[in-house]
Each structure stands twice: as structure tokens, then as C-alpha cells.
Amino acid sequence: MTIKDTPEEWEIRGTGTPFTGNKTSVRTDDVVMPDGTVVHRDYQVHPGSVAVLALDDADRVVVLRQYRHPVRQKLWEIPAGLLDVAGENPLHAAQRELYEEAHVKAEDWRVLTDVYTTPGGCDEAVRIFLARGLSEAEGDRFEVEHEEADMELARIPVQELVRGVLAGELHNNCLVVGVLSLVAARTGDGLDALRPAQAPWPARPFEA
């Protein structure tokens, strides 16, 4: 048996959008189950996101600490952001986020992993990139606002982040998945065997 996620779409008898927000919305679909019954499924419709695990030459990861109101915590995270434009190239979005949030650029980009954050209630898809060959970005720093105005930046050793994840001290989805994927890739075929930065992404198709 091949262990691989596959596309599938069950019949929808009706759909509605009870809420539309600034970036996301809520959709209600009437979905036909395998036994023929029709049930309501509410879920958040999301444009998709990118995240960047930026690894420096000292084996440290660029992280930031930011307040997240829904969970009432300040979380340590890796740079990330929305795909604000339909069809936007995710690599370009990731490069933008790394510049805006950390004022860093990278020479080598790979796809680390692709995930659905909460597929039971949201269609958000995230592409997590590995960025290496880091240096300070040119030009002025991006002007931040709202939660980002209180943001802290740091570079933390990979093993310290792994320890924090397994100890239940670090909870951000992209940081957890990104760091553990990095370790798995190293123990497998190596980082240079990761997919290229422009690898296809069926969850959010784009033009290279």
C-alpha cells in the first residue's frame, strides 16, 4: 500500500458563506456522506501561507516571539505570512516575509515540507521553506504595526528548539513541523535532497 494523500471531493448539495472577514471567511457545505446522509460542515476558508526556517552557518534558526490573541500567548515562531495575492509564487512570498520580519535574505532555498494546519476545520495550506546562506538584507527595515510592533527576534540553536518542542514548551505549528522536518531530513537523504524551491504545490497552484 502506498502511503500518500490523494485528491477526492464528495458531493455538495448546497453551500453558503455565513461570515466574510478581511482575509478569511467561513463556509457551510451540505456534504453527502458515503451512506447517503447529508451533513453540514463549517470550515474556515483561508488563502494559504508560507513559512521560512532560516538556518544560519552556526546551526541556529531565526525565530521571533509574537503575541497571538486567539490562544492568549506569546509564541516563538519562524517567519511566516499569508499568500495575499491569488496565484502568488510562494517562494516570492517567503522571501518577502523573511525580509519584512527578520530583515534577512538567503542564497539557498528549498521546500522543507507542505502541511494542512487544521484540515478538520480549515483549508489553510502552508509551504515551509528551508533558507540557507543568510545575510543582512539591504535597505530600510520594514515598518511593522499591531502585534508585530512588539515582536522579538532571536537566533536559537536547532537542538534547543527540538528540546523545547518535545518538552511541550514550543507550540507554533510551523516552528514545530519545520524544526522536526529539518532533523528528519538530515538523518535521511540530507538537506540538499529536499525538493527545489519552485516544486509544484497542488494545494495552492502558482506560476513559477
Catalytic residues: 148
Grid coordinates belonging to 110: 528549498
Cell 478538520 belongs to which residue?
Answer: 120
DSSP codes joined into one string, 80-143: EEE--STT--HHHHHHHHHHHHH-EEEEEEEEEEEEES-TTTB--EEEEEEEEEEEEPSSPPPP
User: Which one, of 122, 114, 134, lies nearest residue 174 by Cα?
Assistant: 114
The CA distance from 75 to 128, in Å, is 18
The CA distance from 125 to 128, in Å, is 10
